Amino acid sequence: MDATGPGEPGEHSERLKALVLRVQGAVLLSIMGLALLKGLGGVTGLEPLAFALMLPFGALVAFNGTRVARVFLAAAALAVVALLTLVETPGPVFGEAVRRSLLFVSFFSAILILREATFRSHLLRRLSDYLVSQPPGRRFISLLLGSHLFGVMMNMGGIVLLGAVATQKSRRDGTGLSPFDQRQAALAVLRGFAPTAMWSPLSLTPVVVSSLVPGVRIGQLVAWGIGFAAAILAMSFVVNRLETWTERRKRQATMTAAAAAPPRPPTPWRTLFAVLGVVLLIFVLIAAGVRLTGAGIATVVTLVLPVFTLGWLLVQCRYSLRACVRGPLANVAARTLPAQSSEITVMMVAAFVGPVIVALLPAGLIAEWLAGHHFGAIAIVYGSFLIVLVSGAIAVNPIVTIAVIMGVIGDPRDLGVHPLYIATTLTAAWGMAAQLSPVTACSMISAGAFGVTPRTLVFGWNRTFGVVAMLAALVVIVGVGLLQQG
């Protein structure tokens, strides 16, 4: 007999939860609509309506969200109180805070909508099976590059997919990964995903940094970010070779994974090129949208990704609009979007409190102090780099940290710092913080996917890479600063 019958408390509870999820999904879709009206239609004065939508959304997240989301909501409430009581003219600051929240919520929601199609894609499933099935000697580089590619398309959903496929394969084959192979697989996924933040148009990082640093275009950050990401991936591979060589020396002749490994599976070239084609098509559509509309990339992404996802889902549903609407599209509104409400809330609050903190700080006095003490460009830029990393280690979102840094600095040219110098450094710091802190979503999801704690993954397994990356960052930042002075 069922534990609960019709009309009993358990059923009412489930209905209430389902209703809350549907309302959250509807609110997020409405916020996306407001962002498009503002960005494409030029409609002004939408901030009060956007805030009116964010209030019930936050209340529902407080009801069914994570503890982290509740902490952020409490921080938002304190920020509003401080803004109204301590800032002489709170209106402009409040408007800017809401505009940033509106931008980031709609941008992140659009990326989550794309995830619905990617998780249903047989192409990505086949490619992930191929990556995980590689022999140990090739598995790291396969997962490293695959995690980067999946991260561009699916954001952190790529980590979830690769981790799930790896776990399912181990259970299906009846043999788990060795402790060392498990460690290297987890590190490959973590190190491969994190650099996507440095360049991907579907990442918040270039959008945030380019909006905060005067005189810097997002195209410049993407171009430099590609170089940084390539360097990080190459460094990851070199560190992996060093770790593998050290492990073999420790185990001597007992580590014979290559000899015992199964044969290398054939490369699914058609699948690989199809996935690359999808990524390229998304980028082309975004670039075309920016050129045709003249809108910012965040607004264009908010438009392009849902439309592209609809087309992809129609193909998956064999062009049946009814099946598409009743199946995956309904799932987007009722499950996919609301399931990430806590993560969206963190982004929303981080975007909101940044301008408020800047308004509360004596930014002018701090900037004068920096200028009066003649801090060089290298000291200012490397100090900003360290602040982002340290703040990330104590769970402060980089959106907040970078907003505060640039709010204090203002125009970096007034301090003798080239805007692109500090912008690229902040972009790199965000990407590195994602994998060098145990409290970022990236490290927590990666650790959970492979059954370890985030502290073990970051401070234990990823320690060598962290040291190498920090030293490399110091050399690059100082080197670029010296070239700038020359």
> In this structure, which amino acid lies at residue 106?
S
For 71, 282, 430, 443, 478, the CA distances from 388, given in Å and listed in that order, are 20, 30, 7, 16, 17
Domain-located, residue 3: no
Q: Which two tokens stand for residue 279?
A: 């990524």
> What whole-number distance in Å separates Cα of residue 357 and Cα of residue 361?
6
Express each pLDDT in 151-207 by its tens digit.
988 887 888 888 888 777 666 655 556 778 888 889 999 999 999 999 998 888 998
Q: Using the predicted structure, report yes or no on whether residue 259 has a pLDDT greater than 50.
A: no
Range 314-332 average pLDDT: 92
Domains identified in the chain, total number: 1
| CA geometry: angle 72, 116, 457, nearest 5 deg | 55
> What whole-number distance in Å separates Cα of residue 170 and Cα of residue 192?
21
Q: Domain range for residue 149?
A: 11-254+267-485
Q: Using the predicted structure, report yes or no on whether residue 54 has a pLDDT greater than 90.
A: yes
Q: Using the predicted structure, report yes or no on whether residue 296 has a pLDDT greater than 70.
A: yes
Express each pLDDT in 343-400 by its tens digit.
899 889 999 999 999 999 887 788 778 777 777 889 999 999 999 999 988 878 888 9
pLDDT at position 32: 95
Express each pLDDT in 270-289 by its tens digit.
999 999 999 999 999 999 99
- The rounded mean pLDDT for the chain is 87
Q: Using the predicted structure, report yes or no on whether residue 3 has a pLDDT greater than 50.
A: no
| CA geometry: angle 69, 448, 195, nearest 5 deg | 80
> What whole-number distance in Å separates Cα of residue 179 and Cα of residue 185?
10
pLDDT at position 225: 92
> What whole-number distance in Å separates Cα of residue 100 and Cα of residue 92?
12
> What whole-number distance in Å separates Cα of residue 435 and Cα of residue 440?
8
pLDDT at position 447: 86
Q: Which of 152, 111, 104, 52 is nearest to 296 (CA)?
A: 104
Q: Which position has the higher pLDDT, 137 or 62? A: 62
Domain-located, residue 387: yes
Sequential DSSP letters for 234-274: HHHHHHHHHHHHHHHHHHGGG--HHHHSPPPPPP-HHHHHH
Instruction: Using pLDDT thresholds of 50, 70 and 90, give the confidence band for residue 258.
Output: very low
Domain-located, residue 101: yes
Domain-located, residue 277: yes
Domain-located, residue 236: yes
Instruction: Using pLDDT thresholds of 50, 70 and 90, give the confidence band for residue 263.
Output: low
pLDDT at position 63: 86
Domain-located, residue 462: yes
> What whole-number distance in Å separates Cα of residue 207 and Cα of residue 218?
7
| CA geometry: angle 58, 61, 203, nearest 5 deg | 80
pLDDT at position 349: 93
Domain-located, residue 1: no
Range 306-322 average pLDDT: 93
Domain-located, residue 259: no
